């Protein structure tokens, strides 16, 4: 068993450094909560009138979300949705969408 | 010293158990067979996401009794005359050909949790590593005794499951003579789609206003008050449908007189030309009778980290069938979110890891108040370890500022995107 102590320690470290990062697929899971409107992996249905998020640079997505949160960017619904997620969660979501084709 | 293969396996299992203990994934890949019962908002979503996220590593069989998916959301527009059944019907071909889900058109008759098998009405049976039930709701006909017979149910409709009843209700409204009355009854909460009955009342009133202006809509609500988007609905009723829609609270329907289309209330009776009764409902039969723990003998009790039954590990329940978390509505949007939460948890579990300890789900319900104008309600729910449930985030979510045409377009866009998210 001794052999595996370092692995466990490593895991503990990862878990302790950020509770949010405990699941390696957290970004994927969080981004999937947006897919009902913005499409699977951010690939919105073309012509359906809601913006795609796939491939959007991370900074751009985060800026828009921050502007929704603050009210700087007028919205029908995104101000209400953005306020439901922490900044760390929005960071993970924006990272995930930026990596999608 | 070289390890013997047997020892190697033992050590491997210990390492993976340890990794899962510490919530540290890596290594183990998910494999196995998941059977999903019900190809609606919850079931279709979990089937697709299991295949997509496992990159085909997990086998998925979906059992659905209907040949294609028919959406309840947007079905009130079929009843109102703006849309057709074709507009709300989507095939299961995308799940089969694009995602490799095995789709079987059949009905699941029984679940054997001990043997991990299900039996189908056609006679065959299937075994599973994990089972997902997303059967929606079934009606408690005992609560409206005269509606127990198939004949009565063919005359006094619910149209609360989209399909032949949707078409039949539209037909009854078309056949109604001008000056007639349409009454819709709403059961006590919780029921499927809190704003749905009020949306339907608006769209029927919109039809009457245009085609049968002397006709009336009466809402018989068993609840004390309007259950969703109250300010926005009541404003639509007074601005758009004055003299057409009448709202009656505390008006629980106890029974009906089928021959005369009469609703029997506690102290009163109400006769309508078209009587649309939404009976009280509970978890769909297959979930209700499979021996898993229910709350109030109606809804399935679930663990919010995995959507698993609290009494029967290995069986995950989604959508309308579950006992909801605080302020969580029974909606298609939410059932889709349950599907993703469950897919992520199941893949972790099949790989020997714990489910994600921080799940988040969110909801939006759009309602049409006429053919173009829409109002929404939204909420975000984050897992709270102290209460072991998902709790609505304070300060997030809310309703539309006012009914508007822009959201009329977004609502139809939402439908296209969520149908693709489940089925394409
Ligand atoms: C008029 C109306 C309007 C609505 N509008 C909205 C809206 O705008 N937005 C929104 O988010 N929600 C809306 N809803 C609510 C939404 O339809 C439900 O919340 C959603 O369908 C729940 O998903 P589910 O997977 O639990 O059940 P369902 O989508 O009902 O799926 C259950 C499936 O399981 C199948 N099934 C059941 N038992 C078996 C069995 N034993 N064997 C095989 N198959 C079986 C059924 O045939 C069905 O296809 C509306 C509902 C109604 C009635």
With respect to residue B368, please indicate whether it lies within any of the assigned structural domains. Answer: no
Mutation to probe ligand 1, out of B133, B192, B281, B343 (largest number of atoms < 8 A from CB): B192
Instruction: Please check whether residues B165 and B239 belong to one and the same domain.
Output: yes
CA distances from B202 to A53, B1, B70 (A): 34, 78, 22
Last residue of a domain, one of B223, B247, B279: B279
Same-domain pairing of B62 and B189: no
Q: Please tell me whether residues B229 and B303 are part of one structural domain.
A: no
Q: Is residue A15 pLDDT above 70, yes or no?
A: no
Q: Is B402 helix (H, G, I), strand (E, B) or coil?
A: coil
* Cα distance between the two ends of chain A: 43
Within this chain, do residues B75 and B183 fall inside the same structural domain, yes or no?
no
Same domain, B246 and B223: yes
In angstroms, the CA B381 to CA B389 distance is 9
Residue B106 lies in a domain: yes
B64-91 tens-digit pLDDT: 999 999 999 999 999 999 999 999 999 9
Q: Is residue B202 part of a domain?
A: yes
pLDDT in the model for residue B135: 98
B59 and B115 in a single domain? The answer is: yes
Write down the pLDDT at residue B375: 98
Composition of chain B by helix, strand, coil, percent to 5:
35, 25, 40
What is the number of structural domains in chain A?
Answer: 1
Consecutive H or E run containing B166:
helix B164-175
Greater pLDDT, B240 or B9: B240
B256 forms beta bridges with B263
Q: Is B194 close to ligand 1, i.e. is its CB under 6 Å away? A: no
Residues B265 and B145 grouped into a single domain: yes
The arithmetic mean of pLDDT across residues A15-34, rounded, is 77
What integer pLDDT is reported at residue B272 of this predicted model?
98
pLDDT at B181 exceeding the cut of 60: yes
Residue A39 lies in a domain: yes
A31-35, B18-22, B236-240 — which is least confidently predicted? B18-22
Of B255, B279, B303, the last residue of a domain is B279
**How many whole angstroms from B192 Cα to the centroid of ligand 1?**
8
Q: Report the complex ipTM.
A: 0.92
Give which of B417, B422, B424 to mutate to test A binding, by max A Cβ within 10 Å. B417
DSSP A36-75: HHH-GGG-PPTTSSS---TT--HHHHHHHHHHHHHTSS--
Chain A residue closest to B419 (CA)?
A36
Percent of chain B with pLDDT over 70: 94
Separation CA A28–CA B347 (nearest Å) = 13
How large is the greatest C-alpha to C-alpha distance in chain B, in angstroms? Answer: 92
Q: Which atom number of ligand 1 is nearest to the Cα of residue B44?
A: 25
Instruction: Identify whether residues B328 and B343 lie together within a single domain.
Output: yes
Quick one: pLDDT band at residue B29, thresholds 50, 70, 90? confident
From the list A3, A12, A28, the residue facing B22 with the nearest CB is: A12
Pick the residue from chain B with its C-alpha nearest to A51: B413
The DSSP bridge partners found for residue B302 are: B309
> Which tokens hold the place of B243?
């003299």
Q: Is residue B396 part of a domain?
A: no
B267 and B303 inside one domain: no
| Pair (B102, B179) in one structural domain | no
Q: How many domains does chain B have?
A: 2
Q: How far is CA A26 from CA A92, B21, B336, B356, B359, in A?
A: 8, 17, 17, 7, 8
Domain that holds residue B45: 29-139+282-355
Nearest CA, atom 2, ligand 1: B72
Evaluate whether residue A14 is within a structural domain: no
B331 Cα: distance to centroid of ligand 1 (angstroms): 8
Banded model confidence at residue A99, pLDDT cuts 50, 70, 90: very high
Q: Is residue A45 part of a domain?
A: yes
Cis peptide before B221, with omega less than 30 degrees from 0?
A: no
Domain's final residue, options B355, B379, B396: B355
Q: Which of residues 319-358 of B touch A (CB under 8 A)?
A: 333, 336-337, 340-341, 344, 348, 356-358
Mean pLDDT of B256-269: 97
Q: Is B206 in the pocket of ligand 1 (CB under 6 A)?
A: no
Domain that holds residue A92: 25-98
Which CATH number goes with the domain that contains B102? Answer: 3.50.50.60
Q: What CATH number is attached to the domain comprising A68?
A: 1.10.760.10
Domain presence at residue B70:
yes
The reply to whether B145 and B273 lie within a common domain is yes
Are B53 and B108 in a shared domain? yes
* A1 is a domain residue: no
Residue-wise pLDDT tens digits, B133-156: 999 999 999 999 999 999 999 999
């Amino acid at each position: 068993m001794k052999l595996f102590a370092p692995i466990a320690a490593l895991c503990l470290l990862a878990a302790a450094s950020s509770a949010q990062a405990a699941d390696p697929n957290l970004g994927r899971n969080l981004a999937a909560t947006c897919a009902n409107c913005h499409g699977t992996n951010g690939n919105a249905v073309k012509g359906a009138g809601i913006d795609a998020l796939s491939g959007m640079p991370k900074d751009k997505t985060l800026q828009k979300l921050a502007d929704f949160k603050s009210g700087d960017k007028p919205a029908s619904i995104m101000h209400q949705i953005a306020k439901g997620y922490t900044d760390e969660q929005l960071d993970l979501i924006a990272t995930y969408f930026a990596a999608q084709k | 010293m070289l390890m013997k293969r047997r020892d190697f396996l033992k050590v491997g299992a210990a390492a993976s158990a340890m990794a899962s203990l510490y919530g540290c994934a890596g290594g183990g890949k998910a494999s196995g067979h998941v059977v999903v019962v019900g190809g609606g908002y919850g079931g279709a979503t979990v089937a697709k996401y299991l295949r997509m996220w496992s990159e085909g590593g997990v086998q998925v069989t979906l059992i659905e009794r209907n040949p294609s998916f028919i959406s309840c959301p947007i079905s009130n527009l079929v009843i109102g005359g703006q849309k057709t059944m074709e507009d709300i019907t989507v095939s299961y071909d995308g799940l089969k050909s694009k995602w490799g889900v095995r789709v079987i058109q059949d009905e699941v008759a029984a679940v054997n949790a001990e043997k991990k098998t299900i039996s189908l009405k056609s006679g065959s049976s299937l075994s599973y590593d994990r089972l997902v039930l997303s059967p929606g709701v079934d009606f408690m006909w005992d609560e409206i005794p005269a509606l127990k017979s198939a004949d009565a149910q063919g005359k006094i409709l619910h149209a609360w499951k989209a399909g032949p009843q949707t078409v039949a209700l539209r037909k009854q409204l078309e056949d109604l003579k001008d000056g007639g009355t349409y009454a819709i009854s709403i059961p006590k909460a919780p029921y499927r789609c809190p704003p749905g009955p009020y949306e339907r009342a608006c769209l029927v009133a919109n039809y009457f206003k245009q085609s049968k202006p002397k006709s009336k809509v009466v809402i018989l609500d068993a609840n004390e008050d309007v259950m969703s988007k109250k300010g926005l609905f009541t404003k639509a009723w007074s601005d758009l449908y004055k003299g057409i829609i009448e709202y009656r609270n505390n008006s629980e329907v106890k029974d009906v007189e089928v021959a005369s289309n009469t609703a029997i209330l506690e102290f009163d009776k109400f006769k309508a030309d078209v009587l649309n009764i939404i009976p009280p409902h509970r978890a769909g039969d297959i979930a209700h009778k499979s021996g898993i723990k229910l709350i109030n003998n109606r809804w399935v009790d679930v663990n919010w980290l995995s959507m698993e039954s609290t009494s029967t590990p290995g069986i995950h329940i989604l959508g309308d069938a579950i006992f909801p978390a605080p302020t969580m509505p029974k909606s298609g949007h939410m059932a889709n979110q349950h599907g993703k939460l469950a897919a992520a948890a199941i893949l972790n579990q099949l790989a020997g890891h714990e489910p994600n300890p921080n799940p988040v789900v969110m909801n939006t319900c759009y309602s049409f108040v006429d053919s173009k104008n829409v109002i929404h309600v939204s909420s975000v729910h984050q897992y709270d370890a102290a209460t072991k449930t998902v709790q609505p985030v304070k300060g997030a979510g809310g309703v539309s500022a006012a009914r508007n045409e822009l959201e009329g377009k977004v609502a139809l866009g939402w439908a296209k995107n969520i149908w693709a998210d489940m089925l394409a």
